Amino acid sequence: MAGTFYSQIAANRRNSFFLMLILVALLSVLGFAIGYGTTGQAGAGLGWLGIFGVIAIVSSVASYYTGDKVVLGVSKARPVTAAQQPQLINVVTEMALAAAIPMPAVYLIDDTAPNAFATGRDPRHASIAITTGLLQKLDREELQGVIGHELSHVRNYDIRYSLLVGVLVGTVALLADFFLRFTFWGGFGGGRRSSSDRDSGGGGLQVIVFVLAIVLAILAPFFARLVQLAVSRQREYLADASSVELTRNPQGLERALAAISEDKEVLEVANRATQHLYFTNPIKKFENRSKGLFSTHPPIVDRINRLRALNGEAPLPPTAQEELAGLD
């Protein structure tokens, strides 16, 4: 089990790093194509990257210090104490000690749909929010599995990681949108080039790169979003494995995943901007707001089967997989 457990963690981290490199490469290629395609000068690509790099840094700093407060406010989460929720605080304290991180601030969301999320910029500035439905519908072992998963996000710095990925994706979309709007209105002058460019034959290459830049500007935000979803899924797998490391009880997390997925309650406060933070996707497939929405979480069946593999168990039987398929 130990070999499988640590190999899964290592694989998830490698995959996340690789996906991050894809995002950086996509931004670099898009910036260079726009810079060279509009000016015919290779150095202009670096200038574009520098401008939008500054925008990305400013966005990161702002989100870094205020993002958690915004998320908790939008989610209508209220702080709770040990006097109000003794079992919840006890479980969070237990899992925080197991993860060797400071005790996070604990919040409660008044909603009967069972779910939870963690937010913050680092383990010293972290918060965890749990719905009242989660406390009502899960037993202690299942609750430990969920809390262990969320505190693993804190310990593994997934919140910071997701922030960085989100800023990169946002920068790609901003750069692409800016370029397309100015191209549409003639702001960049299309494939204009000087006589020296025509004489040197460089104008043809510039036109080709300009057309490539337009194609990239159209497709890049879509592919960047797909990469973001892939990163999010890898971090969910990693948090599941890390939760097992903390609780030494994969069955508790497995039961929690099944119970939450089968629950039909709708989490009203969740939206497209916050859905990726939750333990399971809070936007159910039967809801109107899920239309045209890519899932930010791995399929529940895959998550459960990975947990069973960590414990040396066979995958779920076909009947159970059919029941859970499509619920996430």
Query: What does the block give as tokens for 234?
Result: 């890898």
What's the pLDDT score for residue 291?
A: 54
Return the domain boundaries, the chain.
2-69+159-231, 74-157+235-324
Give me the pLDDT at residue 88, please: 97
Could you give the CA distance from residue 190 to residue 211 in angstroms, rounded to a whole number? 9
Query: What's the rounded Cα separation, in Å, for the pair 137 and 142?
Result: 9
Task: Pick one of 1.10.287.130, 3.30.2010.10, 3.40.50.970, 3.40.50.300 as the CATH number of 74-157+235-324.
Answer: 3.30.2010.10
Locus of tokens 């979003």 = 225
Give pLDDT, residue 327. Answer: 63
pTM above 0.85, yes or no: no
For residue 299, which phi and psi values (nearest 5 degrees)?
A: -60, 140
Tell the residue number behind the tokens 């025509």, with chain if given. Answer: 198
150 is known as an active-site residue: yes
For each of the chain's 328 residues, which pLDDT tens digit applies? 555 556 766 776 677 777 778 888 888 888 888 888 787 787 777 787 777 778 777 877 887 788 889 889 999 999 999 999 999 999 999 999 999 999 999 999 999 999 999 998 889 999 999 999 999 999 999 999 999 999 999 998 888 777 778 778 888 888 888 888 877 776 555 444 444 444 555 567 778 888 888 888 888 888 888 888 887 888 899 899 999 999 999 999 999 999 998 998 999 898 877 888 899 988 876 665 555 556 778 889 999 999 998 878 888 888 888 887 766 6
Instruction: Compute the 3-state secondary structure of the chain and give helix, strand, coil in percent, each to the nearest 5.
Output: 70, 5, 25
Q: Closest by alpha carbon to 228, among 217, 220, 218? A: 220
**pLDDT of the residue at 25:** 84
- β-bridge mates for residue 106, sequence order: 128
150 HSE (CA, 13 A, CB side):
31
Q: What is the pLDDT of residue 168?
A: 80
- Residue type for 34, please? I
Name the active-site residue from 142, 150, 236, 254: 150
pLDDT at 4: 59
Extended beta strands in the chain, E state:
77-79, 105-109, 116-120, 126-131
Distance CA 80, CA 96 (A): 16
**Phi, psi (5° rounding) for residue 183?**
-70, -40
Take residue 24 and report the two structure tokens written for it. Answer: 């950086």
